[in-house]
Amino acid sequence: MGEQATRAVTVSVLVPVLDEERHLREAVADMLRQNLDEPVEFLFLDGGSRDRSRGILEQIASEDPRVRVLDNPARRTPQALNLGLAAARGTYVARMDAHTHYPVDYLSQGVARLRRGDVVSVSGPQLAVGDGSWSRRVALALSTPLGTGAARFRRPALEEQDIASGFTGLWRRDVLVAAGGWDEAWRNDQDSELAARLRKQGGRIVCLPAMAATYRPRDSLSALFAQYRRYGWYRVKTSHRHPETLRLSQLLPPALVLAVPLAAGGPRWSVRTARAALAAYTAVLMGTATTRVRDVGVREAAALPPVYGVMHAAYGLGFLSACLRLGPPVRAVSALLRTCGPGGG
């Protein structure tokens, strides 16, 4: 153990864990099969799992000296990542998720790209693959622009592309330390907030097709609703700090939510406009579902509108509740309107 603790490490892999028993062994096995021919350590940050996750990790650690299990008393992701960063000994740091499967050359591809220079962060596309009834339907929704919005990293890619923020990924450890790590006030959207800071310092973030990772979406509409409500809430929080990160597609869900009460009453012009917007939205949902019937069948395609509806309504409600609590992101909206307006490109 002493030799392992003092040996030079190329990559430290940080993996927050909380109640991941169902898929943990399979996910960890994928991680340990990484083919990087250089020393790697895997730091699993357990947030007090109440299932068998901790026992599974400790058993794996007893069998593989590359694995360490650390406590995350705060039970939240950014705290876990910062604890891992403080304990990491690698020149490079990778973040991996316990419910995600990574290609065996994920680390080698990422390290090679960072060593080439001119980038501060590298990751791959985030591709949804369902393993339950609703999980499959959510994955189907996330295979369309209506489900992914402007997030380019959520779609397959054919070549390297610059992105605003990525899914997990790799960085140089000294870059993360100099940036202050992950902001612990961001329970969600912490990768996007970190990416915004790195870009403001002149950093470039890229997505490599060969690093595509698959993950399992939520397997119930209630869990999906809670997830997307958090996404909407933290989008406002991030937009306050980094106004340039707001995208037009992120304003559409709250606009749709506001259209519902407006369609029920109010000035005549607002009623007509709101009803027209909701009718157009419904037509888009139905049209998208219809185009998928041939590929997935009527039953699965018919489930798409409620999935989209939950995603967009939850995001919109989260966004609006954050506006009430934190104030609307006025600077972000103004910057976006300037960009979209005449002469704004």
Q: DSSP letters of 164-187? A: SS-EEEEEEHHHHHHHTSS-TT-S
CB count within 10 Å of CB 252 equals 16
Is a pLDDT exceeding 50 seen at residue 168? Answer: yes
Poorest-pLDDT segment among 107-111, 217-221, 289-293, 341-345: 341-345
In this prediction, residue 344 carries a pLDDT of 46
Residues 6+ apart with CB under 8 A from 209: 124, 125, 156, 157, 158, 159, 160
Provide the pLDDT confidence category of residue 342 given band limits of 50, 70 and 90.
Answer: low
In this prediction, residue 343 carries a pLDDT of 47
Residues 6+ apart with CB under 8 A from 90: 9, 10, 11, 12, 40, 41, 173
Give the pLDDT confidence of 256-269 residue by residue, as tens digits: 999 999 999 878 88
DSSP at 188: S
User: How much of the chain exceeds pLDDT 70, in percent?
Assistant: 96
Poorest-pLDDT segment among 59-63, 212-216, 276-280: 212-216
Q: How many angstroms separate the CA atoms of 251 and 61, rounded?
A: 45
Which letter, b or e, does each residue of 260-298 get, where b requires 16 or more Cβ atoms within 10 Å of its Cβ?
eebbeeeeeeeeeebeebeeebeeebeebbeebeeebee
Residue found by looking up tokens 């406009």 in the block: 273
